[in-house]
Amino acid sequence: MNNADPIVRPGASAAHESAHLHVAGEATYVDDIPELAGTLHAALGLSAKPHARIRSIDFAAVTAMPGVVAVLTAADIPGSNDCGPIIHDDPILADGEVHYVGQPMFAVVATSVDVARRAARRAVVDYEVLPAELDPRAARAAESFVLPPMRRVCGEPAQKLAAAPHRLQGQWSVGGQEQFYLEGQVSYCAPREDGCLQLWCSTQHPTEMQHVVAHCLNKASNQVVVEMRRMGGGFGGKESQSALFACVASLAASKLKRPVKLRLDRDDDMMITGKRHDFYYDYDVGFDDEGRILAVRVEMIARAGFSADLSGPVATRALCHFDNAYFLSDADISALCARTNTQSNTAFRGFGGPQGAIAIEYILDSIARRLGLDALDVRKANFYGKSDRNLTPYGQTVADNVIHELVADLEQSSDYRARREEILRWNADSPIIKKGLALTPVKFGISFNVVHFNQAGALVHIYTDGSMLVNHGGAEMGQGLNTKVAQVVAMTLGVPLSRVRATAADTSKVANTSATAASTGADLNGKAAEDAALQIRARLAALAAARFGGTAEAVRFADEQVSGEGWQIAFDELVKLAYEARVQLWSDGFYATPGLHWNRETLTGSPFFYFAYGAAVSEVAVDTLTGEWKLLRADLLHDAGNSINPAIDIGQVEGAYIQGMGWLTTEELVWNDVGRLTTHAPSTYKIPAVADCPAVFNTRLFHNPNHVDTIMRSKAVGEPPLLLPFSVFFAIRDAIAAVAEGNVAPPLLAPATGEAILNAVEAVRAARAQP
Amino acid sequence: MLNGKQAAAAAEQIRFVLDDEVVTLVNPAPTRTILQFLREDLRRTGSKEGCAEGDCGACTVVLGELVARDGTERVQLRAVNACIQFLPTLDGKAIYTVETLKRQDGSLHPVQQALVDTHGSQCGFCTPGFVMSLFALFKNDAAPDRACVADALSGNLCRCTGYRPIFEAADRMYQCGDQRDWLNRPGTLAANTVDADEQALISQLKALRRETDLRVETGDARYFAPSSLAEFATLREQMPDARILAGGTDVGLWVTKQHRELPVLLYIGNVAELKGIDRSDTHFEIGAAASLTDAFAALNGAYPELAELWRRFASMPVRNAGTLGGNIANGSPIGDSMPVLICLGTSVVLRKGALTRELALEDLYLDYQKNAMQPGEFIERIRVPRSRPGWVVRSYKIAKRFDQDISAVCAAFALHLDAGAVAEARIAYGGMAATPRRAAAAEAALAGQPWQEPAARAAMAALDADYTPLSDMRASSGYRMQVAKNALYRLWLETRPDAPLASAQVNVFQLV
């Protein structure tokens, strides 16, 4: 770690609050909870057809299997057979018709996981096969969408395109990505008295799980309690799509009056759940001799899959991130959600932002190659200005732009220019292996695009022994949210972090929470917890000031001491005094992000509270005979504001970089010609492994206290660095371009698998052969 | 389950060491996995299920076994995937799980503490697996370099950290914590001396040695673990339909993924004669039950140019459990050992009862998942010729990912070069046909030709006549054919008489 940032604050770079449990195998995930007596296990029966009517299902062989307790179908659902987060088009169990291979049709409940899974395969389904659409471009041609198309036009793109001195037009695509949380989807539900249910669910959205379970079972929200201590990874895949499993476990528990657990096998998980949307682009760009974009038109087709799920907001975020760090005065941007008979694609870290932003990066990289310029110079020429050229296509002013100084810093610290020269020399002497280099920037908008999601609540308790407990609406999935929130409480009350314990998200404690998503977890819940802690502190200060003199405002809390003018008392002592004085030692807290507005009709407004920035330089070597490649060095510089926990933030930056690199390189989703996903396990779907981590990996945080009033002036850090590995992709493209003299832009598709790379190498060779 | 020291185990009992105690199980279900046993029966939930196919490493545990090393009895600790190991195979071994490492007084093991200190866990779900892989490294290697660390972690996936802090932890663990206990003392198994704790463990494991062959029978499944080759051969002949179980790295998935019933299992892991690796003047004689790790270590001595192939073969836990005999018997068209072994002129010794016969490896494979073995016959050993002067040998694996990936294409070449010409060419590919197969037309195109570019180009073109590869999720047929040809071109670049290129000039993974 090369973190030159001199941030010093109580608890800074504290280890993850569960680190000591993770390493000892003592951190409890849902499947680790000791099972209640009588627990049953469920497994799902999945569609084998991409689109079909279900004529009948013969369960005779299923129910004949010893240990099988029940088979549940849509007919057993007393309430709404829907778990869609926004549009209600997501059946829990298919009702008469299936829309993709892998769609759950029924659940088998048995005395063991093994029996349930074996039995589920024994059902005999009679399908009437219907026509299936598997290709997003074909769906777009047929105008088959899950939601109405979105389009935002600013300026006069048509006229400016026509008048531009240079023009580039083309098509491109980027693949989808499986979340591949190491802990698969799992829900465990226990019936409680009076029709109530206790649900343990690995989810980023306990409140939504509460709602869908209540709707599915015709219950009130106050009958369903969802508890979520931690997830073994979420990455967006457990935002809306934990719902189906929550509903099935709850349905079975409710119907059978027994605790029921539904833990998915990895293959089933990958067959059932949606992924990052693959995107298909048509672009048309006009630019000047310096590569400055004069006008651009882009149509982005997202593979939504069979239902809407979160495709609408994903497409909106793609649309709002097509600009990335660049001023686009005249732009025509549309985003379409193509309906296909495949899994319903969903949230994945970045939530459409990466798919929007990488399109403009591909365009800029192509412009640079057309003009024979260094792509970094073309990127810089297009950066948003500070006081002018700072209006986004959707009408928000970029008020906190630090991309110029951030990129300048990285350009220097990474030795970009000298390495560029060195690589030119190296490539000249290397007939087979070619090196490539790229620097790409990131600007990422922080907040939910849906304004009302930007709220959070928290509870802080101080017990009479001085220990503290904080509970908030956010869900811990490894990102260190609980650690940061506990740090906020500790800092606010002037006590060591060790005094503060963060507890499981629980819908019976903090109500009506938002998903832990859109990078907002610490921003929202940190502020809510701070609000709660400040209220307690104010009460303690008032008591102390009244007892010992001075004003409450002058009372300071630091180092486990509370002090005023001429007096000091141990924090613990003051807590005892407060209890005896009948002062409330616990409080709720609440936060709503100010100043947001968004018009869904015009696709304009100020949807983001602020922007986070970053940049990365990547250097790769590509084998032009096989398409195999290796990342040689990475230099990352990322704006986490005034970081609450630099170590955790660096972990987010590095992890997102490698995860995003996987998306753009080795992670390939392949559906066969009958719509079956053939990459449904780690044997066939390749996320980055240990050898993919570069030997030279420099990560720094860019010191930049947030200009708006966020928690401790920090910035959200979950998603923005997912865009940093664009530099890996463009470094590969750069290396491929070195195969030929001149300015050939390699037609490299993402993911840049060995095969995609070799195809691009061959295309460049062919272009060289025919000048 | 019975705890505590006991007399010799009955035929239906398995015994193993867990947390210093001997655990005895009577008639354990043959296909119950170690992971199921740990999580469901013992409620030791530290080990996680991430994939149930040995590809993610969240379930990694470490097994201790008695081995003879340089004539000395030693304990061997190796990481394996608990999710695909069957419970009865634990018999006679020691097992270490993530729960074993933390001390009673609450202090963390150096591996654990290092991961905390370097922020090496985020969601934490993969972490126990990393801990155990690092623990095996910690005991086996006193000062591993980055490449060794990467190899040790090749079977562990982390989706959160990007691995950088885990590399850091692998350095730091050697400076962490005190070394009061044997578990906390690094590198002891790499040392030439046996310390007192290891000696105690050796004694404990020796006491578990069976006097009777293991025979487990549950309602509908039977499991036999004979301890002699003769007994195994007899059982095999009596039960030709029994499934032979060695490392379980494929058979395990038949149960966890395909839910197949395996009514009779014949485990060969206790047959000492099948685990040995002997070196004659002309051959390596590799017993069918020798682990891939051991087999590759032996072959590396003769063929250092194959080190990268073996490094990229599955992952360390899979190589620790899996056997070369299993890879060969399985005969997968994408098995990575066979192409190069075929090129080397490897043969297999097949045995049925007391009768043996020797067959060229390439003749073992008849068609997709069809081989030349008779009912009741099995592979006794694999005979790999030692390196011969004048021959150049290469094997190139082409896959989406460096670590633990299945080849799109695995190319292998053995050329006998004499005075700048190809005296004999043996070329074989995996991933190009229904079986690992030689490229007759390409070999013919090279035979007798000067080892110059025209011959290489002619052989590349001849591959079109040799193979009609398939398209699947790993690669298209077009890519397979093209990289098959380009691999031959790489071979020429690396071995041509004039100005051959160094491997780092043709292979990104050799770049430093």
Residue A672 has pLDDT above 80, yes or no: yes
pLDDT of residue B369: 87
pLDDT of residue B211: 85
What is the average per-residue pLDDT within B101-109? 95
How many C-alpha atoms does A647 have within 13 Å on its Cβ side?
A: 21
What is the average per-residue pLDDT within A206-225? 98
B88-109 exposure pattern, b = at least 16 Cβ within 10 A, e = fewer: bbbbbbbbbbbbbbbeeeeebb
Whole-number Å distance between alpha carbons of B47 and A27:
11
Peptide bond into A78 cis (omega under 30): no
pLDDT digits (tens, 9 = 90+) for B295-338: 999 999 999 999 999 999 999 999 999 999 999 999 899 999 99
Asked if A243 contacts A212 with a C-beta cutoff of 8 angstroms, the reply is yes
B458 vs chain A: nearest CA distance in angstroms? 17
Q: Which of B401, B476, B492 to mutate to test the interface with A (most CBs of A within 10 A)?
A: B401
Tokens of A256: 């059978």
What is the average per-residue pLDDT within B28-49? 97
pLDDT digits (tens, 9 = 90+) for A616-665: 999 999 999 999 999 999 999 999 999 999 999 999 999 999 999 999 99
Residue A3 has pLDDT above 70, yes or no: no
A719 among known catalytic residues = yes
Q: Going from the N-terminus, what domains does chain B have, and what CATH number goes with each? A: 1-212 (3.10.20.30), 215-387 (3.30.465.10), 392-511 (3.30.390.50)
A543 vs chain B: nearest CA distance in angstroms? 40
CB-nearest to A678 from B168, B472, B489 is B472
Asked if B382 contacts B286 with a C-beta cutoff of 8 angstroms, the reply is yes
A478 and B160: CB-CB below 8 Å? yes
B4 membership: H or E segment, kind and range: none
Confidence label for B5 from pLDDT (cuts 50, 70 and 90) = very low
Q: What is the ipTM of this complex?
A: 0.97
A330 contact B CB<8A: no
Average pLDDT, chain B: 96
Residue B461 has pLDDT above 80, yes or no: yes
A594 contact B CB<8A: no
B165 and A681: CB-CB below 8 Å? no
B52 and A630: CB-CB below 8 Å? no
B136 vs chain A: nearest CA distance in angstroms? 15
A19 and B116: CB-CB below 8 Å? yes
pTM of the model: 0.97
A622 contact B CB<8A: yes
| Sheet containing A468-472: order of strands | A500-502, A468-472, A455-462, A586-592
pLDDT of residue A143: 98
| H-only helix segments in A471-567 | 481-493, 521-548
**Alpha carbon separation from A179 to A269, A741, B165 (Å, rounded):** 10, 39, 21
A27 and B158: CB-CB below 8 Å? no
CB-nearest to B405 from A651, A686, A699 is A686
pLDDT digits (tens, 9 = 90+) for A124-181: 999 999 999 999 999 999 999 999 999 999 999 999 999 999 999 999 999 999 999 9
Catalytic position from the list A17, A719, A741, A755: A719
Residue A10 has pLDDT above 60, yes or no: no
B150 and A431: CB-CB below 8 Å? no
A142 contact B CB<8A: no
pLDDT digits (tens, 9 = 90+) for B354-366: 999 999 999 999 9
DSSP string, A407-449: HHHHHHHTTHHHHHHHHHHHHHT-SSEEEEEEEEEEEEEES-S
Residue A1 has pLDDT above 90, yes or no: no
Whole-number Å distance between alpha carbons of B292 and B279:
16
- In sequence order, which residues have a C-beta less than 8 Å from that of residue A193 and are 6 or more positions away? none
Residue B6 has pLDDT above 90, yes or no: no
| H-only helix segments in B365-476 | 440-446, 453-466
Q: Going from the N-terminus, what domains does chain A have, and what CATH number goes with each? A: 19-27+455-592 (3.30.365.10)
Confidence label for A397 from pLDDT (cuts 50, 70 and 90) = very high
Min mean pLDDT across A1-15, A36-50, A552-566 is at: A1-15
A183 and B473: CB-CB below 8 Å? no
What is the average per-residue pLDDT within A688-713? 97
pLDDT of residue B8: 66
Confidence label for A9 from pLDDT (cuts 50, 70 and 90) = low
Residue B40 has pLDDT above 50, yes or no: yes
What is the average per-residue pLDDT within A578-598? 97
B51-80 exposure pattern, b = at least 16 Cβ within 10 A, e = fewer: bbbbbbbbbbbbbbebeeeeeeebbbbbbb
B291 vs chain A: nearest CA distance in angstroms? 21
Residue A5 has pLDDT above 70, yes or no: no
pLDDT of residue A250: 98
Q: Are strands A260-263 and A40-46 parallel, antiparallel or unpaired?
A: parallel
A755 contact B CB<8A: yes
Q: Which of 294-323 (A) contact B at CB < 8 A?
A: none
Tokens of B22: 């001997």
pLDDT digits (tens, 9 = 90+) for B114-141: 999 999 999 999 999 999 999 999 999 9
What are residue A163's phi and psi, to 5 degrees? -90, -5
- SS3 assignment, position A557: strand
Q: If you measure CA to CA, which chain B residue comes closest to A634?
A: B164
A266 and B400: CB-CB below 8 Å? no
B258 burial type by CB count under 10 A (0-12 exposed, 13-18 middle, 19+ buried): exposed
pLDDT of residue A8: 39
Residues of B in contact with A433 (CB under 8 A): 504-508, 511
Residue B80 has pLDDT above 80, yes or no: yes
pLDDT of residue A352: 98
Residue A708 has pLDDT above 90, yes or no: yes
What is the average per-residue pLDDT within A345-349? 98
Whole-number Å distance between alpha carbons of A660 and A717:
14
Confidence label for A7 from pLDDT (cuts 50, 70 and 90) = very low
A738 contact B CB<8A: no
CB-nearest to A232 from B124, B167, B405 is B124
A478 and B123: CB-CB below 8 Å? yes
Confidence label for A4 from pLDDT (cuts 50, 70 and 90) = very low
Beta pairing partners, A635: A617, A698
Average pLDDT, chain A: 96
Residue holding tokens 């694999």?
A: B382
